[in-house]
Structures are given as C-alpha cells and as structure tokens.
Amino acid sequence: MTKLRPVLTVERHRHILRLLADRGRLTLAEIASRLGISTATARRDAADLADAGQVIRVHGALLPRDFGLNEPRYSRKAEKAVTAKVRLGRTAASLLPEAGPVFIDAGTTCLEVGRCLLDRPDLRIFTNSIPLLALAGESRATLVAIGGEVRPLSLALTGALSQHWLTNLRFDAAVVGASGLDPDAGASTTETAEAAVKSEALRRATRRILVAHGEKWGRPSALCFAPWNAFSDFVTDHVFSRSERLAFGRNNLRLHSPSSR
C-alpha cells in the first residue's frame, strides 16, 4: 500500500518547485529560510523531490530537472543584446595590454572583446573560442588555440586537453564570461567542462576580468566557477545599488561601465 505524504509536505514541495522555476537554482539554506523550516527538513524535501525525478540535486542545492536543456545555442545568444555586447567588449578591451599573453574566453560577449584586440600586433591571444579563432585570417595579433574538444552548444574548446594546455601557460590578463551572476556567490555557468577552463584561466592570470551583460545579474546558473574575490575587474552595464558597490569594494573588485557612445 502506497504511503500518502502529509498535506504540509506536498505544499512545501510545490512551493520549492515554484521557487526553483523562478530562480533557476535553489540552495538548501534558501529553502529553509523561505519556507521557515529547519535545514534537516529542507534536506529531506530536496531528497524527496530528487528521488521523484522532479529536480536535480547537486552539492547543497537544487537545479531544474531540465537545466541542461535551458542553455540556448550559440547562434541564438549571438542575436541578443548585440549593441550592448559591443560596448562591453570595447570597455573590457581598454583594460588589456598592447603586448604580451592574454586569455579570452568563449562566448558572444568575450568574442566582442577579442574583435577589439585583433589590431594589436604584439599581443598573443590564447582562446578556447572557435568563432574568435575563425578571425585569425584578419588578425594582426597572434591567435593561439588552447586545444580540446568542441562543445557544439557554445562553440568552445573544453575538456582535459584544454585544462592540460592551461597548466603550461601564464597570462598578463584573462577575460572570462558567465552565464549567470549571483550577488553573493559570484559568477556561474551551465556546464562542468567550461567551468573548469574558466577557473584554470583565472588562476593563471595576473589581471582577472569578468565581462557580462546586466541581464544576468541575480540569475545564477548551475555551476559557480568563481567567487567575486577571484576577479580584479568587472565589466557590466548593470546599475548597482550603493550597498552592492560597497560589497564589491570589500572584495577589491573594480567596476567598469561602458559608455553610451
């Protein structure tokens, strides 16, 4: 005979699923706080929902069961906020040196950063971006592929070979993008292999620059790859509150906003 769950448990589960649909990622601490329950109860509810196939459970958090399908293809992302990404790219490029080694991440906003660097003949641009590497024929800068497997969804080179390449390199600066931004936790992405490349590139750079469109603020993705104190600079068009700016200051993070020109 099937044991019926108490009504209160069913209502909590519904509430958790609504919160998860709204936020995209939900920690056990957030569940406990929002529902006014203990962490132990939140953990049991999370386990119940995961066992029922309604969510995906990762360390300390829940993800939508179809979170891996939510990332749009590169061609769709390239069509969004084109003008804003160009401005962000110019602003980030202005922070980079005229010569020496730099890393440019995959992604549509980072591609705009890379475009602005192609006329710097003394620059060596290491990248895992297939679209940026395709511009080698028109580049005065030297473009270097870090190697790896092509991830079709993002046109990024990832995997063990990419990470092995990075262990042999050092950069004067690294520019990375993000799929989502959590005001407390930091920058996140949707896929493990890409998260690993981003983290490794940041570890090997003197200046560490995050560039991201403002629409990603407060909308974290599945995998946090770097906390805020992992970056030296943040280029975005999001308008921050005074308290948010103070928090960035405590992390020694410099904010840069693109001009409207």
Q: Where are the domains of the chain?
A: 7-69, 74-256
| Residue found by looking up tokens 């950063």 in the block | 113
Which H helix or E strand runs over 58?
A: strand 55-58
- Regarding pTM above 0.75, the answer is no
User: Which CATH architecture best describes the domain 74-256?
Assistant: 3-Layer(aba) Sandwich (3.40)
Number of neighbouring beta carbons within 10 Å of residue 11 = 11
pLDDT at residue 213 tops 70: yes
pLDDT at residue 220 tops 90: no
Weakest-pLDDT range from 118-132, 144-158, 234-248: 144-158
Give the per-residue pLDDT at 171: 98
Q: Which of 106, 114, 217, 232 is nearest to 159 (CA)?
A: 106
The C-alpha atoms of residue 175 and residue 177 are separated, in whole angstroms, by 7
User: Which CATH architecture best describes the domain 7-69?
Assistant: Orthogonal Bundle (1.10)
* Range 228-251 average pLDDT: 94
* Range 229-233 average pLDDT: 97
| Residue found by looking up tokens 């980072």 in the block | 110
Percent of the chain predicted with pLDDT > 70? 89
